[in-house]
Structure formats: C-alpha cells, structure tokens
Structure 1
Amino acid sequence: MRISEKGERGAPGFDDPLGLLHACHERIEGHCATLVRLAAHVRIHGGDREAQAAAGRVHHYFAQAGRWHHEDEERDLAPLLQRHADSAWSAVVARLMSEHRALEQAYAPLEPLLRALPMVPADLPIEPYVSLMRAHMAAENTVLLPRARAVLEASEIAALGRAMAARRGVRL
C-alpha cells in the first residue's frame, strides 16, 4: 500500500461554506490516515523518498489549509453561531474552538519531524494528534455543522462563504 492515496472528490464551493468545511474535515481525515501509514512506513523503511513526499504533503496541508480551516471556524463561523446561542450552546462552541489550541499543541512535536525527513526517529509521534483530531472532527461534523445548518440564515451563510474565499485570496 502506498503511503498516500488519491481519491479526492470535488469539494463544495464557497457558495456552500458549511459543505466546504465538512469536505475539509474529509481531507483532514485523509491526511490523518496518511500519518498512520507514514508512521508504519518509517518504522520499516525509514525516511525514504516515498516517506518524504507523503510527509511534505501532510505538512503543507496542515501548515496552510489547516490554519485557514481553524480561522474559518474561529473568526467567522463561531461568532455567527454565538448570535443564535443560549448559554449551553455557547459553551459547546467555545469548547470546540478551544480544542484548536490543543490540536496545535499536539501537532507541534510532529511538525518539525515531518519537515526533517529523512532524518527522523523510527517512531513518529503521531499520537495524540491523530486521535484528538479525529474526535474533534467527529464533534464538529455531528454537532457544530448540523447546528449551523439549522440556525444560520442564508445571508449569514453567504457572508461566511465570502469570508472564507477572501482568506484564501479568492475573488467571488
């Protein structure tokens, strides 16, 4: 099995920003699966060219698109949801957004190793990052995004899409 596997489907556009956030979660899951395969590969083959290429793709994604994704949620989606929230829902949104800091801290020891291939230890420290990320995405997919679809008005969803596009330098 190759470390990286292709198979991305077409993602929703900025006219469906909630769908785009969900599709981003699917890509993140793909990168988490790559990390799991990469760790197994490095234990056997070390930091060979295939490992270096996979690590580079994962690092590039998390360094750029992953940061944009967190900004989309923290700067734009969370404030929109807070407008429609009672205190219990506000606490859920705040908890999910604070998990982004925990994810960043869990990724921190892994990030320089991904950049340092082929000079890596035989055991890449993918945990607790992968487990935390998967649990976080599951919560956002089953709680946050469905709630957003239920309470946000069309104008708010359109504003979210415009903000996400602008963050990426895309003109609509």
Structure 2
Amino acid sequence: MNQTVRVDSLISSPAASFEQPFDMLHACHERMQRMVALLQRLREHMRTHGADEQARDAARDVLRYFERAAPQHHQDEELHVFPPLLAKGDPATRELVGRLQQEHLQMEEHWVVARRVLDAVAAGRLHALAAADEAALDAFSGLYAGHIAAEEQVVYPAAVALLDAGAVQAMGKEMAQRRDAA
C-alpha cells in the first residue's frame, strides 16, 4: 500500500449520474472492485507492517464504503433491476436473479463478521490478522467477483431490454432521492 486510497474520492464518478442509472450501477461496481482490492492490499500490508496508520486508514475506507454506498447499491438492484426480471425474464434469468438475491443476503451476513475485523483494525485494537480474521475477510470479498460479472454480463442488459425510458428515468430519480434522504 504505497499510496493511501481514500474512499471519498471514489464515491462519485464524473462519468456516472442518476440520469443514467445503469451507468451509476456500473460505476458502483467499479468502486466495489476497488474496495475489495484495497481490502486485499490491506491484508498483505498487515502481514509485514501490522496495523500502522496506513492500515488503519485503509480499514476505515473499506468500512465507510461498505457501510454507506454498498447497501444503497444493493437496494437499487432489489428495487429496480430484479423485480422486472423476476416478473418478465426468461427462466434462466429468473433463476440467476434468485441466486443474486441470495448472494446479497450472504454479503450482509459475511459483512457483519468482516466489519468486526475491520473495526478492530481501524481502532488499532487488532495488530495482526489471525487465520479466522483472514477467513472472514475472504468469505466476504470472495462473493463479489462472480456476482458483479453476472450482473453486468446478464442481468443489467436483460433489465435494460425490459425497461422503457420512463421506468429508467423513474429509477434514477428514486435512486437520487433515496441518497439525498440518507
């Protein structure tokens, strides 16, 4: 971790806006991938440097992202992307959406444990990761690669094909309003 990555600089992307909600969803996936990569770099860093200030900052960045932005992203999908596919998608797509919904629940469950580890690192209470800590972080981060690929390669294109311009506009408006309310 030669340079500290601040999550604040990753929260908004000038190329993505709520006027194009699927672009926003893709941008969120890019940020998730960066946070998962930061989590991996944090783990490697701690093996040689322990929970120094750089490690604590990285832990805080990962915590902040997965506490604030990631739940909003999952809610976007649960409210706007998955329902039309479950109602009108082909059987294979409906089955995939069901799997992705289960993975959202697994992500939430694994986050509870991963958050405890990261909280301890961020607070300076945990100076080295035990095997159980590594396993908790692996279980959490390991869910993302295949999940994101399935959404981007299959689910998002299928949803775009089903949604008319008015539905996409309403989706973007609701996503923006929910974030302003938060």
TM over 0.5: yes
| TM-score relative to the length of structure 2 | 0.85
* Greater helix fraction, Structure 1 or Structure 2: 2
| TM-score relative to the length of structure 1 | 0.89
Q: Is the 8 A contact 2:42 2:59 kept in 1?
A: yes
Aligned equivalent of 2:22? 18
Aligned equivalent of 2:159? 148
Task: Spell out the pairing of 1:31-70 with structure 2 (5 A cutoff).
Answer: 31-70=35-74
Which secondary structure state, in structure 2, belongs to the residue aligned with residue 64 of structure 1?
A: helix
Partner Cα separation in structure 1 for residue 74 and residue 159 of structure 2:
16
Q: Is the 8 A contact 1:3 1:37 kept in 2?
A: no
Partner Cα separation in structure 2 for residue 2 and residue 68 of structure 1:
30
Partner Cα separation in structure 2 for residue 4 and residue 152 of structure 1:
40
Aligned equivalent of 1:2? 2
- Root-mean-square deviation (CA, aligned residues, Å) is 1.9
Partner Cα separation in structure 1 for residue 84 and residue 16 of structure 2:
20
Q: Is the 8 A contact 1:17 1:160 kept in 2?
A: yes
Partner Cα separation in structure 2 for residue 116 and residue 86 of structure 1:
45
Partner Cα separation in structure 2 for residue 119 and residue 138 of structure 1:
35
Task: Spell out the pairing of 1:56-95 with structure 2 (5 A cutoff).
Answer: 56-95=60-99
Q: Is the 8 A contact 1:55 1:115 kept in 2?
A: yes
1:4-48: CA deviation from partner (whole Å, max 9, x where unpaired): 447855241001101100110000000000000000111111111
Q: Is the 8 A contact 1:15 1:161 kept in 2?
A: yes
2:128 maps to 1:130:
no
Which secondary structure state, in structure 2, belongs to the residue aligned with residue 168 of structure 1?
A: helix
Long gaps (5+) in structure 1: none
Structure 1 window deviating more from structure 2 (53-62 vs 90-99): it is 90-99
Structure 1 window deviating more from structure 2 (55-64 vs 70-79): it is 70-79
Superposition deviation, residue 112 in structure 1: 1.3
Return closer, same or farther for 1:157/1:51 CA change in 2, 3 Å cut-off.
Answer: same
The percentage of counterpart residues that share the same residue type is 36
Aligned equivalent of 2:119? 115
- State the AA in 1 paired with 2:126: V
Which secondary structure state, in structure 1, belongs to the residue aligned with residue 88 of structure 2?
A: coil
1:43-87: CA deviation from partner (whole Å, max 9, x where unpaired): 111111111111111101100101101111112221233343233
Aligned positions, number:
170
Partner Cα separation in structure 2 for residue 39 and residue 3 of structure 1:
15
Long gaps (5+) in structure 2: none
